[in-house]
């Protein structure tokens, strides 16, 4: 992601400055989260953010990079990821072409000539060590999906921001990156990694905050519709679904309803658009079989309407 104009200083005066800078880029942080980000910057520690999918963990790193006018480097973790995929790899096709060119020119191939900077493919962790006017924001996303060995490697990397490439020497960050680690808590991350970080749990927002988030991210949605969506999503979370919808789904649902020209969330349109917020067949069936009335009622309650009032309005 290319850098944008900075609205957050390198050493913010306090949580309120952080909160305002993030809000300027569309991310509404509460006081606790703004404090965690401020302390992460002040203490020069990574920020470890946990929470259910869709609550805004990844978006926090994106907004922080925009607010600092910094480049975002994203390392997406997955099962089986290893150090080479996070640090660097050698460009073997280019090395092979260079080897053939040397042989065609009658030169004696030397191993050192094949392991030079131009053949190095830097991955996010190595890129994070490069010198920049503004240190990048390094997002290590869904670290809980990686295995124990990668966690141990990551802990060592964060301890000194130093990498040794046998063929080229040691690389060290002159200005460490701002690091955000996220976890959906599919498994417990080791305490050693958490101890190195400032920790914060992002919960689902309450109704009023979710309305504020939806109207900020979908300004074309009228406030009553945003309130209906927030109320309905809150009811969906109470149904103990396999994958409860997050704030991201609230935003998508409001945007979908706007595209459909809906100005309220009634049962027919709610049922037709459930696939925007429920992404598993079992969840769809659970809502349609017994929870949809409660969802629509919660939407109406959030807007101060009722089924009878809605019917009267339709017949007027």
Point out the domain boundary residue: 145, 176, 201: 201
pLDDT band for position 313 (50/70/90)?
Answer: very low
Residues 186 and 283 placed together within one structural domain of the fold:
no
What range does the domain containing 24 cover?
Answer: 15-79+128-201
* pLDDT on residue 1: 52
Same domain? 106 vs 152: no
Residue 309 within any structural domain of the chain = no
**3-state class (DSSP) for residue 233:** helix
pLDDT category at 141 given cuts 50, 70, 90 is very high
Handedness of CA 42, 46, 51, 54 (dihedral sign): positive
- What's the whole-number mean pLDDT along residues 93-107? 85
Q: Which two tokens stand for residue 35?
A: 């404090």
In a domain, 251, yes or no: yes
pLDDT (0 to 100) of residue 6 = 61
Q: Rounded distance, CA 186 to CA 170, Å?
A: 35
Residue 309's pLDDT is 42
* Residue 7 domain-assigned (yes or no): no
Q: Are residues 74 and 92 in the same domain?
A: no
Q: Who has greater pLDDT, 290 or 66?
A: 66
- Percent of the chain residues past pLDDT 90, beyond the cut: 78
Long-range contacts made by residues 115-118, C-beta under 8 angstroms, separation at least 24? 115/90, 115/167, 115/168, 116/168, 117/168, 118/94
Q: What are the distances in angstroms from CA 95 to CA 75, 91, 243, 246? A: 25, 6, 46, 46
For the beta sheet containing 137-141, the strands, ordered from the edge strand earlier in sequence to the opposite edge, are: 72-76, 137-141, 178-183, 47-50, 198-201
In a shared domain, residues 73 and 180: yes
Tell me the mean pLDDT in the region 163-168.
90
**Secondary structure E strands in 129-253:** 137-141, 162-165, 169-172, 178-183, 198-201
Mean pLDDT, all residues of the chain:
90
Same domain as 134, residue 66 = yes
- Please report which confidence band the pLDDT of residue 316 belongs to, taking 50, 70 and 90 as the band edges: very low
In a domain? residue 316: no
**Residue 8 has what pLDDT?**
86
**Pairwise CA distance, residues 310 & 126, whole Å:** 58
Residue 157 near residue 125, CB atoms below 8 Å = yes
Taking only Cα atoms into account, the Rg of the chain, rounded to an integer number of angstroms, comes to 24
pLDDT at residue 101, rounded to an integer: 87
Identify the residue with better confidence: 277 or 112: 277
Find the CATH number of the domain harbouring 174: 3.40.50.300
Whether the pLDDT of residue 5 is over 70: the answer is no
- CA distance to 182, 184, 193, 262, per residue, from 211 (Å): 24, 23, 35, 17
Q: What's the average model confidence in pLDDT over 69-77?
A: 96
d(CA 214, CA 256): 12
CB–CB of 38/12 below 8 Å?
Answer: yes
In a domain, 314, yes or no: no
Residue 8 covered by a domain: no
Contact 21, 67 (CB under 8 A): yes
């Amino acid at each position: 992601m290319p850098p944008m104009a900075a609205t957050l200083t390198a050493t913010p005066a306090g949580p309120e400055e952080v909160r305002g800078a993030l809000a300027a880029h569309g991310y509404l942080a509460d006081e606790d989260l703004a404090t965690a980000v401020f302390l992460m910057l002040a203490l020069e520690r990574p920020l470890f953010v946990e929470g259910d999918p869709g609550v805004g963990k990844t978006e926090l790193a994106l907004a922080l990079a925009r607010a600092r006018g910094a480049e975002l480097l994203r390392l997406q973790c997955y099962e089986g990821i290893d150090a080479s995929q996070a640090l660097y790899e050698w460009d073997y096709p280019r090395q092979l072409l260079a080897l053939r060119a040397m042989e065609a020119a009658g030169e004696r191939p030397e191993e050192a000539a094949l392991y030079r900077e131009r053949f190095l493919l830097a991955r996010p962790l190595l890129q994070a060590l490069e010198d920049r006017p503004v240190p990048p924001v390094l997002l290590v996303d869904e670290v809980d999906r990686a295995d124990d060995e990668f966690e141990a490697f990551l802990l060592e990397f964060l301890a000194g921001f130093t990498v040794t490439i046998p063929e080229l020497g040691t690389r060290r960050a002159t200005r460490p990156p701002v690091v955000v680690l996220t976890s959906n808590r599919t498994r417990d991350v080791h305490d050693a990694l958490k101890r190195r970080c400032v920790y914060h749990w992002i919960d689902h927002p309450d109704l009023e905050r979710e309305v504020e988030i939806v109207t900020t991210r979908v300004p074309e949605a009228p406030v009553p519709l945003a309130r209906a969506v927030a109320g309905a999503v809150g009811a969906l979370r109470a149904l103990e679904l396999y994958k409860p919808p997050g704030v991201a789904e609230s935003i998508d649902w409001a945007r979908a309803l706007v595209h459909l020209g809906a100005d309220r969330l009634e049962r027919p349109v709610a049922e037709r658009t459930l696939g925007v917020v429920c992404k598993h067949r079992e969840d769809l069936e659970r809502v349609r079989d017994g929870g949809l009335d409660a969802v629509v009622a919660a939407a109406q309650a959030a807007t101060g309407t009722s089924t009878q009032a809605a019917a009267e309005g339709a017949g007027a």
